[in-house]
Amino acid sequence: MTSWNLAGLRTHQALSRYSTYEIGGEARFVGTPHSVEQLQELLELAYRRGISPVFFGGGSNLLFPDQPDPDALFLTTREMVEVKLEGDRLYVSAGVPMSMLAVIGYGLGIADFDFTFLLPGTVGGGIYMNAKYFDRHISDTLVKVHYIDLQQPGTVQTISREECEFGYKQSVFQHNRTRWFIVGAEFKLSSIAQAADLTAIPELVALQEGKLPSHQLPEFASHFITWLKTKEGLGGQDAALAPMRKIIEDRVGKMHFSYPSCGSVFKNNYSVGEPIGKLADRLNLKGVQRGNARISPVHGNVIQNVGGATAADVIELIRHVQDAFDRNYGFVPEPEVVIVEGQATLLQQE
């Protein structure tokens, strides 16, 4: 009989601890592997026990159910944080925080990743969604992605950037979300000093020693903002930090980190010509509340957990927005947030 005593396996865990929404009921099984090998062992256990794996990264773009499926193994890459530098290629495990890419880039003297500063979530999740900030995407410098296919869990497979089918918040991994699990990626750096040394980046060393940034948005933002202010204190107005300072002004000014949330709830519909947030503003949706979930009073495409919100509260607000858009604009906005089903969750999508 297969033992339940495996490295990285935790039982009876509140999923709210693994999500920036801070929402989610108690899961019977949660897997937090540190390596691909541990992940494969957990997948083998799930297969032998007839348990379905549910994959996620940092939990920044999903909504966990109030009543999780007891026959599911929730698997996160959050503790898979290996980073390697070989020439101009940077290998990053899927669990490395997106914002850490900006820190690494600064440490290497390049601006390739400065746009990832204050983006919550992990590199794996960012690739899954083709994360962006203004006109820059995580896929811009990507070369290849490494993943596990549940049909061949013992083998790590590789796919090129061209095969990833990247688009606006789209990738091939979304079409295979129940089968493919990203474990790492390789990026091509624009330039690199011959003496570049990852061990000279103390924040990365701390990450690999297990000092992970909090999943709670206020603490997460504070962690990286403090890093930037410390660097400014050491070197004055370093021009390399300027793009990150602008990001702080933009995102903090929009209250992105004031309450638990998943950031933008809906994908923009560019055929309409205006962002979802502005269209929501026109319908006076800002500040609308259901239970303890509220549409941000500052940004109409953000739903906040103002204290003890449930998944049901958030879903009710999502439906409310979809109905209002359907009535007034003739289209139903597509959720960007990934809804993890528990006892059956139905959403309008197109």
> What is the C-alpha to C-alpha distance for residues 305 and 302, in angstroms, rounded to an integer?
10
What CA dihedral angle connects 277, 281, 283 and 287, to 10 degrees?
100
> What is the C-alpha to C-alpha distance for residues 195 and 198, in angstroms, rounded to an integer?
10
Catalytic residues: 264, 336
**Exposed (0-12), middle (13-18) or buried (19+): which is 135, by Cβ within 10 Å?**
exposed
Q: Which amino acid is at 293?
A: A
Specify whether the CB–CB gap between 73 and 54 falls below 8 A: yes
Angle between helices 217-235 and 98-108 (to 10 degrees): 10
- Residues 6 or more apart whose Cβ sits within 8 Å of residue 98: 58, 116, 119, 120, 121, 122, 123, 125, 126, 131, 138
